[in-house]
Structure 1
Amino acid sequence: MYNNDYEKIIKSYLRNHRDWKAYTENLRSRMVDLRAKMQLDAVPKTTRFGYDGGGSGGWVKPSPEEAACIRKENNEAMLLRMEDEYLKYHPVVESMERFLDQLSGIQREIVEHRSIQGEQWSSVAMRVNLSESACRAIFRKAIKRLTGMYFGPKAAPEQGSLFLPGGQIFMSVDKSRKK
């Protein structure tokens, strides 16, 4: 049985691609809103008539400067958390989109419909007008290619490569020709 952990990671990235893309776009818009909110000036103190638990009937409130500082600190902490989340998912989403653009048309279509949209093999086969086994073979090749693009050559080893001692990759086996 064939098993490659790098390919499993790529498949999970593809399955989560749409969700992560929407999440990063949402995070980006929330960060823009929060930055704009942080640039607003503090409003003056107003009296609120109502009961606050803990005594004195709602009259004890922090000064506008204190409240603005507390809000600013909370917003800065939230912005840092959002930026960390954004930097966690956005590079993966962006690189997967770039790598998908490098696939041939049929490979990209099969990968998108099978992994990203989660369609069944029969549906993918009808969509691209190929047999299911041909779609599976093209899908495997595309996943290997995506894995090699994302993780490099260590993740997509070539079967049958031969490295000979002495640093020479290709050696002549013909002994009649001497250098």
Structure 2
Amino acid sequence: MRQRVCLFAALLVWAGVAVSAAAWTQEPPDPTPKAPKDRPLIDEPDPDEAPAVPSGSTSGSPSSSPMPTAAIAGMMSVFFVVYFIFIGLMVLIGVGGVVLSALAIYDCARRDFPDPSTRAMWCLLIALTRLLGAIIYYFVIYRKGDPPIQPAYVPGTPPPSPLSG
């Protein structure tokens, strides 16, 4: 399934680049106006002809040529592929953070700490900071591989007998 998704994403990127490149290699229209053969080009409009651009509009100036539609489509397809890859990575990081924090809380609840408040502190840290707390717990507590703590000998009481259990 992962190979199909990667192949599909690569195909979309390739198609977007190909469409964009094809649109930009086309010959752009000549933006300079041509004078009719029978009369010279003049600045004043002819009163008999309707204006090409309504008064007050600047969108019809010959110096501004619109971007080809295929180039826009190519750039947008590349943008959407990058956008969906980004969203997919964020989802994977989010799900991974939840899984890692759940595993860290599970290990924290099973591990023997010298003080019960230490266990509570670590569980709260992991629960409130999710992925960051799980990473901190891994490097500070879990990675050490400390064996479970045995009950401490309390001074003033006889030591436990080796035969008792």
TM-score tier, shorter chain, comes to 0.3 to 0.5
With normalisation by structure 1, the TM-score equals 0.32
RCO higher in 1 or 2 (8 Å CA, sep ≥ 6)? 1
With normalisation by structure 2, the TM-score equals 0.34
Flag the structure with larger Rg.
2
